[in-house]
Amino acid sequence: MSIDESRVLLRITNLNKNFGGLKVTNNVSLDMRAGVITTLVGPNGAGKTTLFNLITGHLTPNSGDILWKGESIVGKPHWKIARQGIARTFQDLRLFDQMTVEENVLTVMEPVSWIWQPGGPVGRKAKQERVMDILSKTRLLDKAKTRAIDLAYAERKFLSLARIMATDAKMWLLDEPASGLDRGSYELFLDLLRNEVKQGVTVCIIEHNLDIVIGISDRIAFLDQGKLLADGDPDTVLKDPHLAAIYFGDQAA
């Protein structure tokens, strides 16, 4: 195996998904390598969220394969895929609104989140320290006892990210994680993400804001009508006039 091949964590091969007569994923092949931030871009309806749902087991492809660390995960339940190290966020965040920030993070730390788990007081202390470290990194430490529903929008976004961090997943699938953030919050998000990537996390993002795409991407995969039209470095993909015409809706260009 070459050095480059050894860095491929997730491999999507000839993936197809149909909803009735509509092909929403059309023969997509894509590699996601360790330590790389890949951004999925394309117009609405391009198939970006469907691809996330296929990877995480919320949908099953009609054909093709998805390999995680060389092992097929097609057909596995979403909870088992999550336990193998693939975690995701959603546009609607899906927080436990009536739980505190701290409790929200603890709920995703299964199987180490319950007091009856092995480890006793030492294990519980380590778990608590881990939660506090995550909240410090996401600047939510002073909100630890605040209910999720009482947080500001940006804080809810960071709580969603904190929950991903607490899973210790090695692959993050983030659905518009920085949308709606003010400039300061966006800079914090970017710094935090880059730091986690340095620690070995691999990231794939769905994003529409081109400023965010340019600022965060190591690589861009351009989807349209379920097809992967381009996969490469940001400068090459974003400067392609044909892709720009599709993205901005000027199909005749």
CATH code at 80?
3.40.50.300
For range 81-95, the mean pLDDT: 89
What is the chain's mean pLDDT, rounded?
87
Question: So what's the pLDDT on residue 69?
Answer: 93
Q: Average pLDDT in the 21-31 region?
A: 94
Closest of 46, 43, 4, 9 to residue 204, by C-alpha: 9
Above 50 in pLDDT, residue 112? Answer: no
Edge-to-edge strand list for the sheet holding 219-224:
86-88, 171-175, 202-206, 37-41, 219-224, 227-232
Give the residue from 15, 83, 87, 8 showing the smallest Cα distance to 54: 15
> What's residue 244's pLDDT?
84
Q: Tell whether the model's pLDDT for residue 125 goes beyond 60.
A: yes
What is the per-residue pLDDT across 204-232, written as a single tens digit (0 to 9) for each?
999 888 878 888 899 999 999 999 999 99
Residue 248: half-sphere exposure toward Cβ, Cα within 13 Å: 12
- pLDDT tops 90 at residue 6: no
> What percent of the chain is predicted at pLDDT more than 70?
90
User: What's residue 124's pLDDT?
Assistant: 74
Asked if residue 188 belongs to a domain, the reply is: no
Could you tell me if residue 138 is inside a domain?
no
User: Has residue 242 been placed in a domain?
Assistant: yes
Parent domain of 57: 1-85+205-253
Residue 21 lies in a domain: yes
Please report the pLDDT score of residue 90 as a whole number. 84
Q: Is residue 158 part of a domain?
A: no
Q: Which residue has the higher pLDDT, 149 or 89?
A: 149
In terms of pLDDT, which residue wins out, 188 or 111? 188
> Rounded mean pLDDT of 30-52?
92
> What's the mean pLDDT in 50-67?
96
Number of domains in the chain: 1
From CA 84, how far away is CA 89, in angstroms rounded?
16
Residue 133 lies in a domain: no
**Rounded to the nearest 5 degrees, what angle is found at the Cα of 22, between the Cα atoms of 229 and 246?**
30
**pTM for the complete prediction?**
0.86
Residue 17 lies in a domain: yes
202-206 and 37-41 as β-strands: parallel, antiparallel, unpaired? Answer: parallel
In a domain, 152, yes or no: no
Amino acid 141 reads L
Q: In degrees, to the nearest 5, what angle opens at C-alpha 196 toward C-alphas 195 and 199?
A: 95
Share of the chain above pLDDT 90, in %: 58
Average pLDDT over residues 32-53: 92
